[in-house]
């Protein structure tokens, strides 16, 4: 009796000690030990960062023609005869909303980083946090060339924010985490790996370089949301997906985003940079002369004195073949590659000079806006000034210039150059730095109370 009781008591004691680690009815560990196994680095990162992720709703007011058939017919399917029969129906103002994501980068100031296309054209921006709090947001600054925007949440204080990482030491194949608002499903978490760095993506808006590529699921509504490493650090801003593909998403590296954010906070915009090179496309005959297998690159025709290109040693007659790691296709592509750079970056240039490859390094500088009026005079033949209404007024036309050949005259008003509207002299500098190498420019000119579309050949 005594010995049997001791054995049974010992068994009971052992079973009691093991009880917290017993398997549940599904065969899985339970209690603290099970929780520790489930709390993977991904889980810890998501729990730490999710409170700083916001769902963004952008509202924009649009005018639409009234459809006399209501919902029975699409307005585009109504024949002109029927539209004439019913007469003018007028327009109505409707509010259209779109969804996106963002991440709080400064909780003390309520600053949110997102994509510029998420809030483009918005008349009202609302941000909702994981805990249900909702804030109206105001735009601090945005730049479509980098597709980044900074918002400030009104009356927000002491918010959670995301720790910043770096995109300089990323490892191919390392696990990444995306959090966002795809299709309105708030705070959706997806995981994947880093598939590639330095990707170039061409869209209707232009060429974007230096993207991170990941196979973490990114869908409409994820734009502007964070891409995280396993430490829960922000290493990218989710931006785009490859249409028609699965598992191919792109993000802006955080190192580039931080430079853009700094300029947006300091100035409200990102300065256009330049190297001071003037040039032209390489045609077939020129390619043959230089021994190039195909027409590509920028043939340098002049270098602005005192510019970054001049200090780096670029000379007329050089052919710019690469900017950084990217092959230059033509002069427009060269400008697009520079538009993805910020001030103070060191850019590696690969040149063809005398049949040999030459490698130089130039440090980008903001385009000198105070030089724009003189450069516009030299290149296009125009002196401009404020107009009483819209646009900029033509004050003087240089004889023999492209503007003179077009027939522009003092008193004309330029409302737009290419895609840049002209409301102030600073807009002229922006238009010039964007289109300075173009051979042809589309202008909107007001004369005698009427607007004309015309082309300036340079």
Cα 416 from Cα 393, distance rounded (Å): 11
Enumerate the β-bridge partners of residue 383: 396
Cα 104 from Cα 192, distance rounded (Å): 22
What are the two backbone dihedrals, phi and then psi, of residue 224, each rounded to the nearest 5 degrees? Answer: 90, -10
Question: Is 50 among the residues known to form the active site?
Answer: no
Question: Is 187 among the residues known to form the active site?
Answer: no
Catalytic residue, chosen from 143, 145, 147, 210, is 147
Question: Is 35 among the residues known to form the active site?
Answer: no
Cα 347 from Cα 342, distance rounded (Å): 10
Provide the token pair at 160: 């959670």
Of 98, 101, 5, 6, nearest to 49 by C-alpha is 101
CA 88 to chain centre: 40
Of 367, 362, 365, nearest to 312 by C-alpha is 362
Catalytic residue, chosen from 223, 271, 307, 401, is 223
Burial of 363 per CB tally in 10 Å (0-12, 13-18, 19+): middle
Cα 154 from Cα 133, distance rounded (Å): 12
Beta strands 111-114; 124-128: pairing state: unpaired
Catalytic residue, chosen from 101, 117, 210, 281, is 117
- Catalytic residue list: 117, 147, 223
């Amino acid at each position: 009796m005594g010995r049997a009781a001791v054995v049974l008591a010992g068994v009971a004691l052992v079973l009691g000690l093991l009880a917290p680690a017993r398997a549940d009815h599904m065969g899985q560990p339970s209690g603290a030990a099970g929780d520790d196994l489930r709390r993977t680095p991904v889980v810890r990162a998501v729990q730490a960062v999710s409170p700083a992720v916001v769902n963004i709703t952008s509202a924009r007011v649009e005018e639409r023609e009234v459809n006399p058939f209501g919902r029975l017919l699409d307005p585009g399917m109504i024949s002109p005869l029927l539209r004439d029969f019913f007469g003018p129906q007028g327009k109505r103002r409707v509010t259209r909303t779109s969804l996106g994501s963002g991440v709080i980068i400064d909780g003390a100031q309520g600053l949110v980083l997102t994509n510029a296309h998420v809030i483009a054209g918005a008349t009202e921006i609302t941000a909702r946090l994981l805990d249900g709090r909702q804030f109206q947001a105001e735009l601090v600054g945005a730049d479509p060339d980098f597709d980044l925007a900074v918002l400030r949440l009104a009356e927000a204080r002491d918010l959670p924010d995301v720790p910043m990482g770096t995109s300089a030491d990323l490892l191919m194949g390392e696990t990444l985490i995306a959090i966002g608002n795809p299709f309105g499903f708030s705070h959706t978490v997806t995981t994947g790996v880093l598939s590639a760095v330095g990707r170039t993506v061409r869209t209707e808006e232009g060429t974007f370089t230096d993207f991170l590529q990941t196979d973490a699921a990114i869908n409409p509504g994820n734009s502007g949301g964070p891409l995280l490493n396993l430490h829960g650090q922000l290493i990218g801003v989710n931006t785009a997906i490859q249409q028609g593909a699965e598992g191919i998403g792109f993000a802006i590296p955080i190192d580039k985003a931080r430079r853009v954010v700094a300029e947006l906070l300091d100035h409200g915009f990102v300065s256009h940079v330049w190297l001071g090179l003037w040039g032209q496309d390489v045609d077939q005959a020129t390619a043959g002369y230089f021994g190039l297998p195909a027409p590509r690159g920028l043939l340098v025709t002049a270098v602005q004195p005192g510019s970054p290109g001049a200090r780096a040693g670029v000379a007329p007659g050089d052919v710019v073949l690469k900017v950084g790691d990217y092959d230059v296709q033509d002069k427009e592509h060269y400008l697009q590659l520079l538009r993805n750079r910020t001030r103070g970056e060191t850019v590696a240039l690969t040149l063809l000079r005398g049949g040999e490859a030459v490698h130089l390094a130039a440090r980008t500088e903001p385009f000198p806006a105070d030089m724009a009026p003189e450069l516009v005079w030299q290149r296009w033949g125009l002196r401009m000034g404020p107009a009483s209404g819209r646009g900029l007024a033509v004050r003087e036309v240089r004889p023999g210039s492209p503007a003179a050949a077009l027939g522009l005259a003092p008193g004309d008003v330029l409302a737009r150059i290419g895609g840049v509207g002209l409301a102030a002299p600073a807009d002229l500098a922006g238009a010039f730095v964007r289109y300075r190498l173009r051979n042809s420019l589309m202008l909107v000119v007001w004369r005698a109370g009427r607007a004309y579309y015309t082309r300036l050949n340079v």
